[in-house]
Amino acid sequence: MGYKILSKKEICPNQYEITVKAPHIVRNAKAGQFIIFRAEECGERVPLTIADFDREKGELTLVFMAVGHSTKKLAQLNEGDELLDIAGPLGQPTHIKKYGTVVCLAGGYGAAPCYLIAKAFKEAGNKVYMVMGARTKDLIFWQDKMKNACDELFITTDDGSLGEKGFVTQVLERLIKQEKIDYAIAVGPMPMMRAVADLTRDKGIYTEASMNPIMVDGTGMCGACRLTVGGETKFACVDGPDFDAHKIDFDEVINRSRIYKDYEKKRDEDCNLLKQSV
């Protein structure tokens, strides 16, 4: 059974949004969960966070960057083409309840999963602030959707080309001084999530971080998403992806991610040498 692509568009340089017909997946999908897709028979199994869905139409929306073999293959497909298979929904949903005032912090690609998360918190009766950050304005997307999902949207860019110049943490710090914040969730690059955790640690604000960036296999078997939370070993794909940010050993996670990046770089270099020798 293939999964037909209903629409596709490039929303940022090298970043795409596709909508796929997948009624059995969206039937039980919740904010914070993910899927695993294969674009072709010999393709890798790639996890992607669920960005949006329409239960009535049975449509699943995914956002991805074309950075590896499989995501580049996915980027080559167009409306009417089919994905080979999709497994999901996987992982534990974000812990949605009425906290009071919630701040969702999205760094770069983290904006995609934050949409559903913010929307769910708002529907649960919370006052929701959304803070989106990126290096430059070209990497900010879904502004209108985000405005509809929250009570107030803030945008920061490293270069000041859109919104406020700086980082999401400076907006969070300002909000903390202005009013009582009851809950915060950070989704994005590891340094950004650690910075959010450090900021809220001594302020009595329960904070969660999404460990989506370290998932590979998505079933808990490969061990790549292993992390330490409160002294206990957890797996992002089955126990998470959201964890208490104040209990995550970020040093361990960041060091492990560097090992994988070094491995990927060496693998690519070896592949290029092999191609040149053929």
Which residue from 212, 205, 209, 154 is spatially nearest to 186, judged by alpha carbons? Answer: 209
As a whole number of Å, the end-to-end CA separation of the chain is 37
Interval 5-33: pLDDT, tens? 999 999 998 899 999 999 999 999 999 99
**Per-residue pLDDT averaged across 93-98, rounded?**
95
**Top CATH class, 3-90:** mainly beta
Q: Which two tokens stand for residue 196?
A: 């959010």
pLDDT tens across 157-178, in order?
Answer: 999 999 999 999 999 999 999 9
- Annotated domain spans of the chain: 3-90, 101-214+240-248
pLDDT at 101: 97
Running DSSP on this structure, what letter comes out for residue 66? -
pLDDT digits (tens, 9 = 90+) for 39-74: 887 777 888 999 999 999 999 999 998 887 888 888
DSSP letter (8 states) at residue 84: S
Which of the listed CATH numbers 2.40.50.1020, 3.40.50.12780, 3.50.50.60, 3.40.50.80 matches domain 101-214+240-248? Answer: 3.40.50.80
